[in-house]
Amino acid sequence: MDNEELEQDKAKDDALEKALEQETENETPSEDETFVKPDYESEIIKIIRSTTSPKVTREKLEDYHANDIADVLEKLTVVERKKLYNILNMDMLSDVFECIDDVSPYLEEMDIRKAVEIISSLEADTAVAALRGLDKVRRSVIIDLMDQESKKDIMLIASFDDDEIGSRMTTNCIVIRENLTVKEAMRSLVKQAAENDNISKIYVADESNTFCGAIDLKDLIIARQDSALEDLIVTSYPYVYGHELIDDCIEKLKDYSEDSIPVLNNNNKLLGVITSQSIVDLVDDEMGEDYAKFAGLTAEEDLKEPLKESLKKRLPWLLVLLALGMVVSSVVGLFEQVVSQLTLIMCFQSLILDMAGNVGTQSLAVTIRVLMDENLSGADKLRLVTKEMKVGFCNGSLLGVMTFLVLGIYIALFKGYAVGTALLISGCVGISLLVAIIISSLVGTLVPLLFHKINIDPAMASGPLITTVNDLVAVVTYYGLAWLLL
């Protein structure tokens, strides 16, 4: 009997183990299986183009993120977009429009009353940007039809210039008075949260709206009702002034990992906040502008920009570079006698010029990155120049020796020159490369430092400019040495 029971138990264990293995195999994808990313765009378009009722369509679209819906707008026809405007409720529609860089084309095609509702529901900074993209007549009509509260917020944001931090703030924040109890503060928070969704930080102001500090939502929630509110206020909380230039305070904003930072006027009155998302957008815009300047453009371009505007951004730099290029060509002409007697040296001119340009661009990129620290001292700048000179000397020495040996063997074996002459030519190229790399490192560092000193954006010392200057230096060095040595 005992043996039978043991056999039955073993059979049960084997069956259970087999069942678990089978279940694991079913859950674990095989090697042939591939995970296909959902095609949200096609799904959303299919839902919009379906003939289901508005209620059912809206309920289906609620399952998708607002950003996914925003991405398909340009794929729809005007008629389909107008249908979508009517199907979505105002909260969903405003969330979708918050995900779009330029909403003005869509506001132009919708009913004026709907456009007013949309503008009123958007964050104030987004609303201002949208209104600026509309024609004057439609913009004026929309502003006239808006409620006083929304109009007041928009006029506040619009009072700041585009390059001032106040133009990127929002009035969507919770503000409580400093003389409240914890219970009264919670009541004020609940009341304001219905219209403001940035509630992770609560800002405190006195009766005259002067900024006093901030309270973390968690600290307020767990505080005892009889606790003093002043014990919860962080009085050292960071802030910026609305009229500060974005370029001047972007580093300060990046240093703090806060969800939002208050924006004050010159009398320390609380105006609004700049959110972490706006800070990310600012940093992204700043990087885009620096990249454009680094490429020799006066500003960023986009696919929809008119030809005339693109020409205006590119042509000024190209004219400057053309003039400098003519100077470089003229310098080469001064060494016409050297070139005519030893045409082989022309073969290695591009090598010297390319390496000088590459090294200069590297030094420029490092210098601009270092100059982002506004607290950089004179000693730090001197260390930067010294370091770049050392790096240039080491790189130039290694590359110069390699060039001397490789080109010497190449010229002697494949060009039929005597060993002594071949080594003289390769030595000229190697020494020129060393000198050009050292000077290029120096130029790529000193030029942006000089621009920064005279309050010009160092990114204006663009790659093409540095490269052309280094071409001039490299040409003089190379042909000068060739004239002396050969």
Rounded Cα gap, residues 404 and 398, in angstroms = 10
Place of tokens 């709206």: 209
Contact 338, 485 (CB under 8 A): no
Longest dimension (CA), the chain: 114
Sheet strand arrangement including 211-216? 174-177, 201-205, 211-216
Contact 323, 466 (CB under 8 A): no
Is residue 394 very low, low, confident or very high in pLDDT (cuts 50, 70, 90)?
Answer: very high
Q: What is the pLDDT of residue 158?
A: 83
Q: Worst-scoring range by mean pLDDT, 103-112, 247-256, 455-464?
A: 455-464
Q: What is the pLDDT of residue 9?
A: 59
Is residue 459 very low, low, confident or very high in pLDDT (cuts 50, 70, 90)?
Answer: low
Is residue 241 very low, low, confident or very high in pLDDT (cuts 50, 70, 90)?
Answer: very high
In tens, the pLDDT along 299-317 reads: 555 555 677 776 776 677 6
Rounded Cα gap, residues 448 and 380, in angstroms = 14
Rounded Cα gap, residues 156 and 271, in angstroms = 8
Taking 3-state DSSP, the helix, strand and coil percentages for the chain, each rounded to the nearest 5, stand at 70, 5, 25
Query: CB neighbours of 447 closer than 8 A, spacing ≥ 6?
Result: 364, 461, 465, 466, 469
Residue 163, SS3? coil
| pLDDT at residue 376 tops 80 | no
Q: What is the pLDDT of residue 31?
A: 47
Mean pLDDT score across all residues of the chain: 80
Q: Worst-scoring range by mean pLDDT, 17-26, 96-105, 147-156?
A: 17-26
Q: What is the pLDDT of residue 36?
A: 59
Is residue 212 very low, low, confident or very high in pLDDT (cuts 50, 70, 90)?
Answer: very high
How large is the average pLDDT for residues 376-386? 85
End-to-end CA distance of the chain: 109
In tens, the pLDDT along 315-373 reads: 776 677 677 777 767 776 677 676 666 677 778 888 888 888 788 878 877 887 777 66
Report, in angstroms and rounded to the nearest whole number, the Rg of the chain calculated over CA atoms.
Answer: 33
331-336 long-range contacts (CB < 8 A, ≥24 apart) are 331/472, 331/475, 331/476, 331/479, 332/475, 332/479, 334/479, 335/479, 335/480, 335/482, 335/483
How large is the average pLDDT for residues 211-239? 85
Joined tokens for residue 107: 């506001």
Question: What is the 8-class DSSP label of residue 160?
Answer: S
Joined tokens for residue 240: 């910026």
Residue 275's φ and ψ, nearest 5 degrees, are -85, 165
How large is the average pLDDT for residues 269-296? 70
Rounded Cα gap, residues 162 and 16, in angstroms = 69
| pLDDT at residue 238 tops 50 | yes
Q: What is the DSSP string of 4-52?
A: HHHHHHHHHHHHHHHHHHHHHHHHSPPTT--PPPP-HHHHHHHHHHS-S
